[in-house]
Structure 1
C-alpha cells in the first residue's frame, strides 16, 4: 500500500467516524438538541454539532489505532501459534463474549437485568459474524475467524472507555462509531491492497511455490 492510499484510507475512516458520531448523537442525545430548539439557540446547536463530530473523530482515531494493532497481533499470533492461531482466536472470542455479560452485570450488583447484557453480547457477536462472512466471501474462507476476532475482540477492547462511563448514552455513541469505522476498515483493506491477500484476509498459509 503506497502512502497516498494510506492517507486516503485514514481520512475516509475519520470522515465516517465524525459522521457516525454526529448522526448517532441525534438519537442518543436528542434531549440536548431539543433544549436548544425551544427556544432556538443557533450558536449552541452549532456547538453541539461540532462537539459530537469531534467525539466521532476521536472514536475513529481509537478505531484506527485498534485496527493497526490488530494487524500486528494477527502476524504475531501466526508466528507464535502457527496452525493453532485460529483456535486461539475462537477461544479469545468466547472469553470476551462471556466477559461482556458477566463483569458488567457484576459491576451493577444485579441492578440491571442480565438479559440486556446477553442481548448486547449477542448483538455484537451477530454483527461481527455478518461482517466476517462478507470478508470471507470477498477474500477466502480462512479470513472468517480473523475478521470475527477483530470485530468482536478488538472492538470490545476499543469500547472499554465507553463501558466505564456512567449511563449508556456515550457507550452507545462510541460503539456505533467504532462498528462503522471497524467495518469500513476491515472490508476496505483488501480492496486497496489487493497484492497481498495473505495479509489482508488473515490467511494462515503461505503462498504456494
Structure 2
C-alpha cells in the first residue's frame, strides 16, 4: 500500500467514523427525548459528535494496523491452518468473554446488555465476512471474523469499564462501521498497489530489453 492509498483510507475512514457518530448521537437523542437549548447548543452538540467520531475512527485505524502486524507475525510463526485455528479460538473466547464473563462475576447486577452487545458485534461480523468472501475468497472468512469480533472487543474494553450502556452504543456503532469499511476495502488497495508494482517492473524490463 503506497502513501496515496493510505491517505485515501485514512480520510474516508475519518468521514465514516464522523458520520457514524453523528447518526448514532442524533438517534440516541431522539430516542431519549433529549432537547438542546437553542440552535447554538444544537450546533455545539453536532460538533462534539463529529469530533468524537473522528477520534473513534483514529482509534479504529490504530487497531486495524495493529491487526495487520499481528496477522503478518502470525503467518510467520504458525502454519496456515494453525494460524486459522488460533484466530478461531481467540474469536470464540473474546465473544464469550464480552457476553458472559461479567454476567458471572457481576453478582446480582443485570448483564443482559452484554449479551446484546455480543450479538450485535457477532451480527456485524457475519455480515462483513459474508460481503468480504463475496468480494474476494473464502480464505478471507476467518481473518474477517477475527478482526470484526476479537479486535473490536479489545478496542471496546475502555468503554466497557465505564459501564454505561449509552456510552457503549455511541462508541461501538461507529467503531464497527470503521472496522467493517477498512476490512472490506483493504483488498482493493492492496490489489491496486500490487498491480502498479507489477506494471512498473514490466515497463522497466521492456526498457532494459530495448
| TM-score after normalising by structure 2 | 0.85
Structure 2 CA distance for aligned equivalents of residues 52 and 94 of structure 1? 32
Shift of 1:79: 0.9
Greater Rg over alpha carbons, structure: 2
Partner of 1:204: none
Question: CA 1:45–1:31 in 2, change beyond 3 Å: closer, same or farther?
Answer: farther
Aligned mate of 1:44, from 37, 41, 46: 41
Partner of 2:54: 57
Q: How does 1:167-182 map to 2 (within 5 A)?
A: 167-182=164-179
Partner of 2:86: 88
Contact 1:29 1:169 in 2 (8 A): no
CA root-mean-square deviation:
2.0
Higher relative helix content = 2
Where in structure 1 are there 5+ consecutive unaligned residues? 198-209
Cα deviation 1:149-205 (Å, max 9, x = unaligned) = 0000011111111211242111001000001101110001111221578xxxxxxxx
Structure 2 CA distance for aligned equivalents of residues 166 and 141 of structure 1? 37
Partner of 1:24: 24
Partner of 1:194: 191
Contact 2:100 2:115 in 1 (8 A): no
Contact 1:155 1:179 in 2 (8 A): yes
Question: CA 1:93–1:18 in 2, change beyond 3 Å: closer, same or farther?
Answer: same
Contact 2:13 2:178 in 1 (8 A): yes
